[in-house]
Structure 1
């Protein structure tokens, strides 16, 4: 099953009901950006869930020890630790820097995410070989070369033509995964770019706030469906379901913050 250029030209992704549903669930990112406790939680969840999607063997305690104390887990691969540290570094760059959605930003984030996981010459640049198979699917991505680069530029042009924040973030994510522009770390890069796109539109980005293996499986299966059919529906189901969970968590955070602002602090005896 070969690359289908028509997938990049499908720009009507969300129907009006789905747009209204996501808009109703959404929070302004800037309202939470200064809540350090909340951001720390979302930071950890984004890093951890992204690693779990990739099959990382670090559990939550291992990941906490690595991020907070720099301790690697005995008996586990160095590449698993490096994946987590790279995800942390990419997340921090997204949070701290004012990055536009562009091919250059995508390359910058890939260079961070792929550090020591691919050869230095392949960090942040188009792959120089053909991908001969992706686990779980018969899809064969476009061969390397000028056409792959042209399609990548076309992807960002199409992204710029979309104006609904959720629609364009989802478009960006799925098609970065589909193109497989880089040697490795394509899905990680796509999730970071999706996060950045929503952040730039002042919408709360998608973060999996629950450690639920069924969601990781659902995500992987949704991408296989997109690779083979160009059908967004499975990914939309995943996105909306996980965004609902995140919205529930954020409502609780907002309620606690409001309570702290309106309740006088009692002096400790």
Structure 2
């Protein structure tokens, strides 16, 4: 419900209409049973500040040591490499997977192939609403932002508010709402939970959540902690769950673990897990979803990881300069002759021994550009087509 102030949770999604596709713990089953009861039988509740205040980073933990070790083993951190290295290597796949799955969990009806065409070619499905296309493209922008600024992002106001601004772009009725903390009351459709309504307290607890997340040492505990507490606070007018799903990937991008793209996660069980947090402050069902979802996502990227060679140390060293040079060439619609001159001049900024390798690296990247990989250079499909036509 963009612009309504309601974070949508479809009531029909709360019915236990089928057996869970996810193996649930006993406590997860109990949560599911309670949150699928008729609304009239569930006790109305408000925001409980004790839920966040009582959590002590690195002393308390939502994930057990065994669960953390399991996730670390299947996540396969990619060694001692700069933050964001692995995410950049699989960026084209990640853009499609995470944009599609996160949008799907909000009721978006684009198929995976529709999403791929939209992201890679800018081709919308005329049978679907403009809102659905906007939602997916907003995910693409936010994911690119996180990956390309991997060394700068973190659990801080700048990162999370800007991720919200990108995800909410052109979706909220108030043009100032994207990136702004909530100043209006909201409700949760299909739940008896009423979020906090006082702006000063929303701001206070938003900062407290980010501060505690930053203190957590384990990347998996960090990820799950954010998935729990950002939606529970509802710090923005709308789009809160989307922000939490992308923010949950911050520690994985920075530590070069496999990302969490919510592959195959059923929307009804995910929704029920969130309602368990809202109404019961019980993380059991959502943790079942998180554990299973990460395992599915990691399995998807394990195949991709096996096909990747060792990264070129030179390209790692100059990755930002290479990206900026190519962005300038495409955005400026430089033809091959003009581009060669621009690369040669740019190379003079570096030590003599690095100039020739830099020119070779940029020219190799340029010759390898195609419709499926230009997004990493922060150019639009229109800019890329115009450049290619002129090249």
Decide which of 98, 102, 109 is 2:163's aligned counterpart.
109
Decide which of 109, 112, 128 is 1:57's aligned counterpart.
109
In 2 relative to 1, CA 34–61 (structure 1 residues): closer, same or farther, beyond 3 Å? Answer: closer
The CA deviation at 1:32 is 3.1
Structure 2 residue 253 is the aligned partner of structure 1 residue 199: yes
Q: Comparing 176-185 with 62-71, which one deviates more in the overlay?
A: 62-71
1:47-196 mapped onto 2 (5 Å cutoff): 47-97=99-149, 98-118=152-172, 119-131=174-186, 133-196=187-250
The CA deviation at 1:153 is 1.1
The CA deviation at 1:257 is 4.1
Aligned equivalents of 1:250, 1:77: Cα separation in 2: 31
Aligned equivalents of 1:249, 1:192: Cα separation in 2: 18
- Residues 139, 167 of structure 2: 8 Å contact kept: yes
Aligned equivalents of 1:80, 1:217: Cα separation in 2: 19
Aligned equivalents of 1:223, 1:242: Cα separation in 2: 14
- Residues 194, 205 of structure 1: 8 Å contact kept: no
Structure 2 residue 297 is the aligned partner of structure 1 residue 246: yes
Aligned length: 252
Structure 2 counterpart SS, 1:120: coil
Aligned equivalents of 2:64, 2:171: Cα separation in 1: 39
**What does residue 44 of structure 1 align with?**
96
In 2 relative to 1, CA 34–80 (structure 1 residues): closer, same or farther, beyond 3 Å? Answer: closer
Aligned equivalents of 2:307, 2:215: Cα separation in 1: 39
The CA deviation at 1:46 is 0.3
**What does residue 234 of structure 1 align with?**
285
Structure 2 counterpart SS, 1:154: helix
TM-score with structure 1 setting the length: 0.87
Structure showing greater Rg = 2
1:209-248 per-position Cα deviation (integer Å, ceiling 9, x unaligned):
4xx3x62222111111111111222121111112222232
**What does residue 3 of structure 1 align with?**
47
TM-score with structure 2 setting the length: 0.61
- Residues 156, 211 of structure 2: 8 Å contact kept: no
Structure 2 residue 276 is the aligned partner of structure 1 residue 222: no
- Residues 101, 197 of structure 1: 8 Å contact kept: no
Aligned equivalents of 1:228, 1:179: Cα separation in 2: 12
- Unpaired segments ≥5 residues, structure 1: 259-269
Higher helix share: 1
